[in-house]
């Protein structure tokens, strides 16, 4: 048995070895080919040879090729197996070789087939790409190289209209006749249309007069359209049947392409909000323009879940649903045009969202994930621009497992650098990461979370290859299948540090080759330099990936590391030790930039530039900051580092002064701030002026011309210093200078001209920067002497004081007067930029050379022109003014008039736009200069003041001011006689000032009886003086009278500790403060003094009274809503020994409620009667003293109480209601309380109801009523109850008419009938007790009396059954009386006996219980004993 077992075991072992060898051979050969259109994924790592060229053995026996360690291991394995089992392999090896040859042959055939298919696909793809390329090159809009031409034929002849069309893609061609599409189906026998190779022909076989007309051919494609025309004339004996010959072949007609219209400016948006940028275009987008591209910092943006891009009609927009700092940058919209590409760009600033904690830092940005492994990733980020109230100390790293749904902090201690290795992740899991900055106040807002990353082996794809075979099938080959069964793993290789920091080191190594099929983990060991012992660095941590961060290294020490591989079969030998590794040097924040300089750019922006630091290798970019000069209120410009060394800062306020500074940004943090720039005022930079316009000829003498022109619309920030004029004769191309020297004025005389010739001119403007662009060439002026009688045209039209509804037009008188002097001017206005509809502004000529145009419509555009008038008539009009929009510019100021601190009258004007060379130009009536002896102008910063020395009526008139470099900033003021009179009075007050009084003399009495006299003026200086006069003599402070004077507050007070008769009189305060002075008098005599003296004495006595317990509120009474009398008082300054007692007429009252905590004591009387009248007294006392309060509730005071009580009772009255009775109606009113003092009167239809037989009034404690007996229709109407409380009358009304009366009358009648029925109803009135007792054998007699009309029927019942009058029972019935006799009563006669009476109005039953007892027994206790 043992022998069989051994043989069987040997056979199984042999079979296992053979299958293992075959599997190994097969695995090696599976990975030996790829198709030519695939990548040989392993060729860079393994020397794989195609299997159709070499066998496995040949590969392993090649010595002249470089071998990877894998092949050495495989060769050793195969050699060992071959040597050990050589005898057993021979039979199997031959068979395996045959199989191998068949496999190689099939592989070769398969390879050839795949290569052919791949080559065919490549050729087809290249051909398709080439065709598309050729199509793009050949794209062309439709065109007619040979257009239609006109034809004239005789009737009945044949004609052929032809044209050639070209374009790519081929256009669609349509024929028209007289504007209507030509349909061949209408006359197929006569029309023949041919289109071949671009030649389009229309053949008309027999022409008739109907065929004459205009023929048109239109070619359309996606790139545009073109058309050509031709006329066909058909002659007949009656004449030609079409118009004159005409042919038209217009040039290529392209649709109007869209251009940028309104574009988006620099934009600010808060972090987390949505952002929308929008452009509008001049027209609807053409088909090829629909794809408007959007870019951020040069990178194109595409439609996604967070980005929405739209292009509709003439609008394109992009929306970012939630912006983050990473989205900050330059956004560009790109539009395709016929000529190329148009772009518009603007910077989008992302502002920090509100801090997570007060004073906390902003959020970091640009979190990047790299080196993704099975359980390890490496994070980098950029520091925030805003530190908060303290510098950023470090960062917290957080991860988010998408399966668990919560954020978890990765690092226990803050990480100072902007990079961190995250270890210990789960393989095959989706993670997101974010960063928080930390300062002393706490952690700030988190950064934008990264996109989800999947933890996996990054080299997994290199261990798998997919081979495509026919019919879409694939073969997957893994590296594990090629490596065979590796049990105990090999050690890793290339152990080194891939990331070194001053706090950690990240180790990296290469997995062993071959790795084997079993999953690998690793042990990391370390050793200090110079020591032979190794310790485990990974401890109890499982290392799944060839990355491992080490944090617990000592600074200044060097370490060696080695790694062991682990699988289920065991642990490998250690790897080769790594090179010496130590912690890196600490990284420090970079140096700040230097040479920071701000340069003027526009009215709202500044160009900032700087030099980068010398050590710039680690710098990621720069953060910029700005503040208004002198405020130190720094704000962040950008929240995403700028990589360049210049940047344009937008959003600044015009004419404000700013300073700037910069920080460098690196992974080690932000640098300190750079030095501040010099303060710079935000205003536009200086540039050359724009071109002049509107050149006009003002005068011509035959050899000379005088020309004028309009100033440039923009001077470039510097005044125009002069003009240069060029001229040329009409038809000539060459311009020549009129004078090499600039002309200061906008008017010049050109000499040495030839009479009868035409000349053109152009003008250049120049400022300190240089010469601007030339104006457009003027029209050709004829050099001919002017002799017309009318005057020439006015010139130099200028606009001033443009507002929403008005403007002022200025002009210069014409240089040519004509036959007589100019007597006036006529003005015309036109609405719109180019409109020729002119409307007269003035019916009669005006003599001034300025005119204020009113009644304009805000937002509308206008042009104006002027014509001069003389005795001969109206001359030619001037050139129109430049278009102007009636709109007040933001920040526009007007001239203000006033008086300065020295008493001088002035006109002031403030400009919100000032340049270095700006000047304020003051004039009178726009053109007249102001006499320097009468008025002087001074300018401080952006304000100018025109001060008059001594204005008089000669100085009245219109004053104007404008800016020298910007006449659009202008204003005027009409200085009138009323202004002069008002301001002269104000000037006198300023020069002769009075100390202003805030509060006149006041008299106050304190609680202690002291008296205070006081007054208050405006604030005075320390040099102010006071004289206090009492009854014509100056007084000062005494012990009895104290005088206080607070100059800063302007407060004067006189304090009397005890006022006396000697203090009566007049008090006068004389004040002087510099030039200002004033005096104030108090007449403190007669009644005013006596009242004050009495009040002071009373307060003094009251203060003494309050030294102990006292009444804060004396006894008083009131009536509440429940009509109760409340008498109360309130005491204060009490203690535990204080007692409070009440008395009435000397008798103590005990029903008083006293709350010691509040001091309130109350006596409540629910019903007031005459006994409540009397004298009440309350006494509060303790050891400190006593206070008494009395209340006399008598006579008038008692009447007042009754009146108040009556009023409250009347107010508590409810509405009038009706109650029906058998006798009639009862109208009543409910009150909370009724007293006889409240007089009540009833009215019916506004007439008083007197006491009569049919009415009766009455009252109770809570109700008053009136009864109306036997009501009829005459009682229908309005009822009123008047309640008079002694002062006021209170009314309650009831409208008893209509349905209400009908219902009440019906109810009365019903109750009346019920009463009658109740009165006449049959009923038992007396006779029967409830229980009777009788001894057995006796006779029982029960008598009962009844009543009712008519007389009722009577029935006796026993146990609810009628008793018959016979035998034992005897019944007698008399008028309203009946008796029943029971003879010889027996025990069985006990029971319930009843009498039942009835008539037509009703019935009634009365019961009696009969109890029969035997002789010797006691009757029931509750029974009436009978017999």
Which tens digits make up the pLDDT trace of 588-616? 899 999 999 999 888 899 999 999 998 88
Range name among 13-22, 1018-1027, 1140-1149, 1349-1358 with the lowest pLDDT average: 13-22
Distance of CA 4 to CAs 13, 16, 17, 673, Å?
14, 18, 20, 92
Say if CB 764 and CB 677 are below 8 A apart. Answer: no
Closest C-alpha among 1052, 1055, 1100, 1056 to residue 1078: 1052
Instruction: Say which DSSP state 854 is in.
Output: -
When pLDDT is cut at 50, 70 and 90, the band that residue 72 belongs to is: low
| Beta-sheet strands, E only, within 997-1064 | 997-1005, 1011-1017, 1025-1030, 1033-1034, 1041-1046, 1051-1056
Return the pLDDT at 1033. 92
Distance between CA atoms of 654 and 640, rounded to whole angstroms?
26
On the question of pLDDT at 4 being above 60, the answer is no
Name which of 244-258, 734-748, 921-935, 1097-1111 the model is least confident about.
244-258
Mind giving me the DSSP string for 396-429? Answer: EEEEEETTT--EEE--SSPB-SSEEEEE-PPTT-
- The three-state secondary structure class of 769 is coil
The span from the first CA to the last CA of the chain, in angstroms, equals: 132
pLDDT at 517: 77
Q: What is the pLDDT of residue 83?
A: 53
The single residue listed with the structure tokens 């022409």 is: 207
Given a cut of 70, whether residue 509 has pLDDT beyond it is yes
For residue 937, list its beta bridge partners: 946
Q: Is the pLDDT of residue 697 over 90?
A: yes
Q: Which residues contact 741 (CB under 8 A, 6 or more apart)?
A: none
Encoded tokens for 1254: 């049919």
Structure tokens at 1395: 């009498």
pLDDT at 1317: 84
Residue 285 has pLDDT above 80, yes or no: yes
Lowest mean pLDDT across 216-225, 328-337, 1415-1424? 1415-1424
pLDDT digits (tens, 9 = 90+) for 767-791: 988 899 999 999 999 999 999 999 9
With a CB cutoff of 8 Å and minimum separation 6, the contacts of 1102 are 1007
Per-residue confidence at 484, pLDDT binned at 50, 70, 90?
low
**Strand, helix or coil for residue 953:** helix
Residue 608 · residue 624 · CB < 8 Å: yes
Q: Which residues of 86-98 are buried (b: 16+ CB within 10 A; e: fewer)?
A: eeebeeebeebee
Region of poorest pLDDT, from 347-351, 583-587, 677-681, 841-845: 583-587
- Percent of the chain scoring above 90 in pLDDT: 49
Does residue 483 carry a pLDDT above 80?
Answer: no
Q: Which of 220-229, 418-427, 925-934, 1244-1253 tops mean pLDDT?
A: 418-427
The pLDDT assigned to 94 comes to 58
- pLDDT of 45 strictly over 60: no
Residue 254 has pLDDT above 80, yes or no: no
Q: Are 1017 and 1072 in contact (CB under 8 A)?
A: no
Buried b (16+ CB within 10 A) or exposed e, 100-132: beebbeebeebbeebeeeeeeeeeeeeeeeeee
Per-residue pLDDT of 133-173, as tens digits, reads 666 666 788 888 888 888 888 888 889 999 999 888 888 89
CA 669, CA 362: separation in Å to the nearest integer? 13
CB 961 within 8 A of CB 944: yes
Average pLDDT in the 1192-1215 region? Answer: 90
What mean pLDDT do residues 915-933 have? 86
- Alpha helices in 85-147, H assignment, sequence order: 86-138
The mean pLDDT of 401-429, rounded to a whole number, is 92
Residue 1101 banded pLDDT, cuts 50, 70, 90: confident
pLDDT (0 to 100) of residue 195: 86
pLDDT at 18: 44
The H-or-E segment that residue 224 falls in is strand 224-236
Residue 717 has pLDDT above 90, yes or no: no
**Least confident stretch, 237-246, 796-805, 1081-1090, 1160-1169:** 237-246
DSSP 639: S
In the structure, what pLDDT confidence band is assigned to residue 192 with cuts at 50, 70 and 90? Answer: confident
pLDDT tens by residue, 1305-1345: 898 889 888 888 888 888 888 878 888 998 888 888 888 99
Look at residue 746 and tell me whether its pLDDT is greater than 50.
Answer: yes
Q: Which residue's entry shows tokens 């795949």?
A: 114
At residue 989 the predicted structure's pLDDT band, cuts being 50, 70 and 90, is confident
- pLDDT of 198 > 90? The answer is no
- Three-state secondary-structure class, residue 982: helix
Instruction: Compute the average pLDDT of residues 45-51.
Output: 36
The H-assigned helical ranges of 1212-1358 are: 1298-1320
Backbone angles phi, psi at 61, to 5 degrees: -90, 0
Say which residue the tokens 């009962």 belong to: 1344
The mean pLDDT of the chain is: 86
Average pLDDT score over residue span 503-521: 87
Q: What is the mean pLDDT of residues 1076-1091?
A: 92
What is the gyration radius of the CA atoms in the chain, in angstroms?
60
pLDDT for residue 1427 = 67
Does the pLDDT at position 181 exceed 70? yes
**pLDDT computed for residue 251 by the predictor:** 35
């Amino acid at each position: 048995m043992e022998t069989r077992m051994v043989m069987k075991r040997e056979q199984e072992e042999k079979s296992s070895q053979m299958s293992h060898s075959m599997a190994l051979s097969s695995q090696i050969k599976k990975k030996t080919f790829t198709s030519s259109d695939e990548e040989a994924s392993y060729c860079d790592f393994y020397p794989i040879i195609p299997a159709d060229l070499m066998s496995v053995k040949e590969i392993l026996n090649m010595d002249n090729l470089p071998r990877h360690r894998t092949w050495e291991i495989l060769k050793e394995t195969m050699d060992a197996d071959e040597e050990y089992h050589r005898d057993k392999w021979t039979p199997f090896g031959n068979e395996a070789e045959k199989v191998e040859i068949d496999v190689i042959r099939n592989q070769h055939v398969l390879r050839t087939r795949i290569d052919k298919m791949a080559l065919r696909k490549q050729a087809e793809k290249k051909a398709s790409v080439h065709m598309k390329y050729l199509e793009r090159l050949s794209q062309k809009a439709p065109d007619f190289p040979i257009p239609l031409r006109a034809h004239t034929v005789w009737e009945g002849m044949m004609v052929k209209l032809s044209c050639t069309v070209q374009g790519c893609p081929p256009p669609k061609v349509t024929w028209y006749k007289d504007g209507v599409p030509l349909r061949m189906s209408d006359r197929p026998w006569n029309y023949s249309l041919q289109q071949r190779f671009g030649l389009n022909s229309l053949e008309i076989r027999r022409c008739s007069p109907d065929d004459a007309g205009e023929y048109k051919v239109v070619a359309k494609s996606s790139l545009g359209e073109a058309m050509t025309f031709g006329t066909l004339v058909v002659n007949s004996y009656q004449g030609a049947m079409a118009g004159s010959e005409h042919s038209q072949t217009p040039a290529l007609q392209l649709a109007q392409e869209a251009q940028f219209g309104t574009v988006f400016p620099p934009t600010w948006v808060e972090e987390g909000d949505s952002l929308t940028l929008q452009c509008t275009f001049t027209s609807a987008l053409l088909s090829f323009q629909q794809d408007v591209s959007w870019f951020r910092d040069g990178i194109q943006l595409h439609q996604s879940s967070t980005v929405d891009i739209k292009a509709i009609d003439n609008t394109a927009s992009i929306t970012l649903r939630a912006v983050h700092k990473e989205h900050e940058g330059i956004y560009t919209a790109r539009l395709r045009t016929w000529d190329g590409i148009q772009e518009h760009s603007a910077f989008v600033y992302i502002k920090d969202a509100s801090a997570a904690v007060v004073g906390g830092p902003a959020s970091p940005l640009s979190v990047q994930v790299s080196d993704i492994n099975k359980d390890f990733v490496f994070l980098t980020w950029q520091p925030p621009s805003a530190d908060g109230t303290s510098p950023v100390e470090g960062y917290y790293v957080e991860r988010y497992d998408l399966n668990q749904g919560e954020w978890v902090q990765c690092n226990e201690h803050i990480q100072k650098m902007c990079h961190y290795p995250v270890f210990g992740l789960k393989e095959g899991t989706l993670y997101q990461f974010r960063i928080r900055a930390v300062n002393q106040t706490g952690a700030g807002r988190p950064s934008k979370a990264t996109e989800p990353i999947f933890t996996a082996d990054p080299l997994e794809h290199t261990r798998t290859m997919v081979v495509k075979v026919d019919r879409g099938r694939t073969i997957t080959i893994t590296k594990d299948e090629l490596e065979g069964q590796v049990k105990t793993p090999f050690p890793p290789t290339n152990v080194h540090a891939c990331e070194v920091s001053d706090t950690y080191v990240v180790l990296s190594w290469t997995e062993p080759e071959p790795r084997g099929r079993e999953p690998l983990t690793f042990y990391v060991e370390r050793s200090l330099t110079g020591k032979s012992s190794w310790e485990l660095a990974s401890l109890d941590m499982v290392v799944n990936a060839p990355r491992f961060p080490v944090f617990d290294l000592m600074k200044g020490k060097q370490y060696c590391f080695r790694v062991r591989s682990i699988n289920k079969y065991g642990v490998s030998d250690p790897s080769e030790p790594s090179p010496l590794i130590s912690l890196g040097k600490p990284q420090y924040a970079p140096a700040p930039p230097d040479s920071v300089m701000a340069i003027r750019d526009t009215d709202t922006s500044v160009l900032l530039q700087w030099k980068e630091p010398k050590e710039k290798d680690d710098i990621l970019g720069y953060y910029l900051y700005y503040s208004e000069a002198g405020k130190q209120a720094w704000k962040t410009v950008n929240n995403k580092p700028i990589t360049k060394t210049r940047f344009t800062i937008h959003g600044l306020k015009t004419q404000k002064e700013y300073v700037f500074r910069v920080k460098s940004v690196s992974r080690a943090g932000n640098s300190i701030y750079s030095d501040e720039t010099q303060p710079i005022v935000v205003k536009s930079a200086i540039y050359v002026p724009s071109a002049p316009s509107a050149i006009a000829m003002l005068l011509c003498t035959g050899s000379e011309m005088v020309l004028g022109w309009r100033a440039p619309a923009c001077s470039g920030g510097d005044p125009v210093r002069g003009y240069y004029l060029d001229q040329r004769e009409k038809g000539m191309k060459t311009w020549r200078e009129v004078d090499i020297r600039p002309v200061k004025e906008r008017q010049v005389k050109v000499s040495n001209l030839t009479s009868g010739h035409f000349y053109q001119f152009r003008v250049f403007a120049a400022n300190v920067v240089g010469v601007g662009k030339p104006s457009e060439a003027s029209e050709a002026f004829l050099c001919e002497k002017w002799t017309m009688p009318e005057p020439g045209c006015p010139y130099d039209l200028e606009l001033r004081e443009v507002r929403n509804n008005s403007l002022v037009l200025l002009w210069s008188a014409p240089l040519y007067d004509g036959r007589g002097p100019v007597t006036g001017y006529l003005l015309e206005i036109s609405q719109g930029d180019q409109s020729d509809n002119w409307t007269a502004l003035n019916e009669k000529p005006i003599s001034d050379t300025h005119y204020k145009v009113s009644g304009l419509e805000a937002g509308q555009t206008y042009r104006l022109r002027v014509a001069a008038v003389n005795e001969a008539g109206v001359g030619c009009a001037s050139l129109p003014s430049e278009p102007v929009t009636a709109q007040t510019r933001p920040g526009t100021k007007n001239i203000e008039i006033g008086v300065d601190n020295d008493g001088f009258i002035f006109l002031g004007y403030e400009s919100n736009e000032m340049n270095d060379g700006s000047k304020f130009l003051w004039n009178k009536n726009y053109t007249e200069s102001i006499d320097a002896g009468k008025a002087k102008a001074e300018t401080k910063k952006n304000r100018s003041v025109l001060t008059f020395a001594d204005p008089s009526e000669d100085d009245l008139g219109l004053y104007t001011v404008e800016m020298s470099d910007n006449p659009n900033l202008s204003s005027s003021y009409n200085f009138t006689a009323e202004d002069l009179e008002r301001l002269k009075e104000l000037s006198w007050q300023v020069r002769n000032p009075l100390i202003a009084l805030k509060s006149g003399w006041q008299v106050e009495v304190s609680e202690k009886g002291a008296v205070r006299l006081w007054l208050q003026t405006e604030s005075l200086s320390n040099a102010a003086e006071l004289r206090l006069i009492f009854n014509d003599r100056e007084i000062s402070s005494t012990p009895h009278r104290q005088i206080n004077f607070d100059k800063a507050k302007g407060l004067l007070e006189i304090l009397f500790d005890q006022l006396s008769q000697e203090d009566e009189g007049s008090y006068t305060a004389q004040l002087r403060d510099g030039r200002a002075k004033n005096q104030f008098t108090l007449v403190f005599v007669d009644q005013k003094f006596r009242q004050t003296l009495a009040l002071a004495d009373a307060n003094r006595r009251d203060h003494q009274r309050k030294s102990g317990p006292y009444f804060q509120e004396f006894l008083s009474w009131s009536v509440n809503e429940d009509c109760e009398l409340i008498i109360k008082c309130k005491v204060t300054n009490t203690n535990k020994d204080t007692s409070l007692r009440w008395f009435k007429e000397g008798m103590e009252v005990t029903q008083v409620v006293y709350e010691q905590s509040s001091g309130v004591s109350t006596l409540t009387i629910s019903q007031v009667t005459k006994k409540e009248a009397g004298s009440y007294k309350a006494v509060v006392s303790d050891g400190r003293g006593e206070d008494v309060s009395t209340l006399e509730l008598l006579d008038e005071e008692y009447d007042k109480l009754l009146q108040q009580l009556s009023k409250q009772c009347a107010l508590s009255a409810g509405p009038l209601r009706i109650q029906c009775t058998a006798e009639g109606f009862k109208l009543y009113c409910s009150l909370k309380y009724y007293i006889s003092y409240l007089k009540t009167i009833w009215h019916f239809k506004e007439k008083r109801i007197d006491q009569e037989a049919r009415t009766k009034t009455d009252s109770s404690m809570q109700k008053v009523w009136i009864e109306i007996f036997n009501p009829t229709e005459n009682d229908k109407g309005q009822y009123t109850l008047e309640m008079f409380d002694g002062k006021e009358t209170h009314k309650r009304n009831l409208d008893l008419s209509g349905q209400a009366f009908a219902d009440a009358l019906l109810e009365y009648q019903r109750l009346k009938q019920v009463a009658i029925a109740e009165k006449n109803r049959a009923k038992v009135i007396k006779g029967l007790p409830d229980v009777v007792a009788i001894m057995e054998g006796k006779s029982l007699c029960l008598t009962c009396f009844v009543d009712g009309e008519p007389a009722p029927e009577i029935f006796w019942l026993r146990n609810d059954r009628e008793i018959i009058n016979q035998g034992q029972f005897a019944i007698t019935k008399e008028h309203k009386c009946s008796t029943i006799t029971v003879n010889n009563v027996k025990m069985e006669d006990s029971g319930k006996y009843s009498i039942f009476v009835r008539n037509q109005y009703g019935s009634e039953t009365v019961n009696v219980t009969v109890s029969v007892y035997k002789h010797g027994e006691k009757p029931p206790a509750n029974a009436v004993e009978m017999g």
